[in-house]
């Protein structure tokens, strides 16, 4: 995706710990034209997948998730992050280690929003170790639904997440793939 790639080149900032800061267009200030293009691109890539639900995680997954949901005309559900839980009867729970916050979160989705037989597209802003996307996919599995695919805005291909998800058999589509963040710059995988 040329538009996204250009934004990463002109506005992305490489931070220590292999973190790419994109807060001027993706997860703090948001560029609506770019977000609309992201939604259209995911719709195009998953057009034949029979998607009837989109699942993401708060907060940075919500913007690309809702734009994709709008394009595909299906509901968006976002998983909530909570520290620890006592009552878990009416929610699906999985644990994911947060790459940026460096802590484990229980992530939860109300059971009423994903049903057996649903075809769920998982969307997130970044893919690093795959913790967040894999936890979302496991929630889909808990519901007896099917993961129609996983759509990622920015994949850091030099980290283990992409191999983890494809190794688990999921279809992964990433709009931009980054091969490295060396010397303060962004090296693209393609
Ligand atoms: P993973 O669960 O794949 O290890 O990491 C993905 C999650 O961590 C995403 O939901 C995203 O919020 C955050 N994340 C991982 N790497 C980066 C990064 O380089 N930049 C930003 N802004 N967020 C990241």
Q: Nearest-5° angle of CA 26, CA 30, CA 33?
A: 100
Number of H-type helices and E-type strands within the chain = 5, 10
Label residue 89 by pLDDT band (50, 70, 90).
confident
**CA gyration radius, the chain:** 16
Judged against a pLDDT cut of 90, whether residue 177 lies above it is answered with: yes
Label residue 64 by pLDDT band (50, 70, 90).
very high
Q: What is the pTM of this model?
A: 0.97
Domain limits at 84?
Answer: 2-188
| Whether the CB of 126 sits within 6 Å of ligand 1 | yes
Q: Which of 125, 159, 162 to mutate to test the pocket of ligand 1 (most atoms within 8 A of CB)?
A: 125
pLDDT given for residue 172 in this prediction: 98
Q: Distance of CA 126 to CAs 90, 103, 121, Å?
A: 29, 17, 15
Give 79: exposed, middle or buried? Use CB within 10 Å, 0-12, 13-18, 19+.
buried
Percent of residues, the chain, with pLDDT higher than 70: 97
Query: From the alpha carbon of 134, which atom of ligand 1 is closest?
Result: 2
| Whether the CB of 132 sits within 6 Å of ligand 1 | yes
Evaluate whether 55 touches 120 at the Cβ level (below 8 Å): yes
pLDDT given for residue 84 in this prediction: 63
CATH code of 72's domain: 3.40.50.2020
Judged against a pLDDT cut of 90, whether residue 87 lies above it is answered with: no
List of residues 6+ apart from 19 with CB closer than 8 A: 99, 100
pLDDT digits (tens, 9 = 90+) for 25-61: 999 999 999 999 999 999 999 999 999 999 999 999 9
What is the CA(8)–ligand 1 centre distance, in A? 15
How many domains in the chain?
1
């Amino acid at each position: 995706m040329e538009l996204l790639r250009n934004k990463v080149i002109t506005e992305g900032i490489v931070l220590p710990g292999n973190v790419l800061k994109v807060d001027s267009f993706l997860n703090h200030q948001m560029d609506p034209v770019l977000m609309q293009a992201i939604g259209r691109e995911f719709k195009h890539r998953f057009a034949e997948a029979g998607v009837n639900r989109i699942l993401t995680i708060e907060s940075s997954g919500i913007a690309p998730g809702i734009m994709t949901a709008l394009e595909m005309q299906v509901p968006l559900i976002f998983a909530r992050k909570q520290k620890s839980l006592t009552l878990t009867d009416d929610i699906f729970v999985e644990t994911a280690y947060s790459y940026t916050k460096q802590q484990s979160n229980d992530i939860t989705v109300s059971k009423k929003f994903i049903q057996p037989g649903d075809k769920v597209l998982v969307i997130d802003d970044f893919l690093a170790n795959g913790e967040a996307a894999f936890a979302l996919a496991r929630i889909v599995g808990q519901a007896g639904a099917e993961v129609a695919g996983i759509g990622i805005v920015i994949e850091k291909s030099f980290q283990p997440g992409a191999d983890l998800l494809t190794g688990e058999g999921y279809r992964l589509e990433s709009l931009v793939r980054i091969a490295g963040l060396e010397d303060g710059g962004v090296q693209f995988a393609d």
